[in-house]
Amino acid sequence: MPVDILEINSIGINFGDLKALDKLNFKVTQGSIFGLIGPNGAGKTTTINCIANLLDTDEGSIKIFGEVLEEESINIKKKMGILFENTDDLFIYLKGEEQLRFVGEIYGLDKNTIEERIDRLFDYFEMSSHRFMLISEYSKGMKKKIALASILLHNPDLVILDEPFDGLDVLTVVKLKKLLTILKEKDKTILITSHILSYIEDLTDEVAIINKGKIVYQSRTEDIRKKIKDEINKETYQSLEEVFVDIVSGDDDQKEEVLSWL
Examine residue 254 and state whether it is found in any structural domain, yes or no: no
User: Do 139 and 56 share a structural domain?
Assistant: no
User: Do 161 and 52 share a structural domain?
Assistant: yes
User: Do 162 and 60 share a structural domain?
Assistant: yes
Q: How confident is the model at residue 256 (pLDDT cuts 50, 70, 90)?
A: low
User: Do 123 and 69 share a structural domain?
Assistant: no
User: Do 128 and 65 share a structural domain?
Assistant: no
Examine residue 170 and state whether it is found in any structural domain, yes or no: yes
Residues forming a β-bridge with 81: 159
End residue of a domain, out of 120, 155, 190: 155
User: Do 177 and 54 share a structural domain?
Assistant: yes
End residue of a domain, out of 102, 128, 155: 155
Please report the pLDDT score of residue 14 as a whole number. Answer: 92
Examine residue 198 and state whether it is found in any structural domain, yes or no: yes
Q: Summarize pLDDT for 161-200 with one digit per residue, the tens.
A: 999 999 899 999 999 999 999 999 999 999 999 888 889 9
The number of distinct structural domains making up the chain is 2
Examine residue 131 and state whether it is found in any structural domain, yes or no: yes
Q: Summarize pLDDT for 49-63 with one digit per residue, the tens.
A: 999 999 999 999 999
Tell me the average pLDDT of the chain: 89
Please report the pLDDT score of residue 67 as a whole number. Answer: 95
User: Do 50 and 19 share a structural domain?
Assistant: yes
Please report the pLDDT score of residue 131 as a whole number. Answer: 94
Beta carbons within 8 Å of 85's beta carbon, 6+ residues apart: 45, 162, 163, 166, 193
User: Do 115 and 75 share a structural domain?
Assistant: no
Q: Summarize pLDDT for 63-109 with one digit per residue, the tens.
A: 999 999 988 889 999 999 999 988 766 778 899 999 999 999 999 99
User: Do 162 and 241 share a structural domain?
Assistant: yes
User: Do 110 and 239 share a structural domain?
Assistant: no
Q: Please give the residue range of the domain that contains residue 93.
A: 87-155
Please report the pLDDT score of residue 207 as a whole number. Answer: 95
Model confidence, pTM: 0.89
End residue of a domain, out of 115, 133, 155: 155
Examine residue 255 and state whether it is found in any structural domain, yes or no: no
Residues forming a β-bridge with 160: 82, 191
The Cα–Cα gap between 67 and 6 comes to 9
44-58, 112-126, 213-227, 235-249, range with the lowest pLDDT: 235-249
User: Do 74 and 175 share a structural domain?
Assistant: yes
User: Do 66 and 134 share a structural domain?
Assistant: no
Please report the pLDDT score of residue 237 as a whole number. Answer: 67
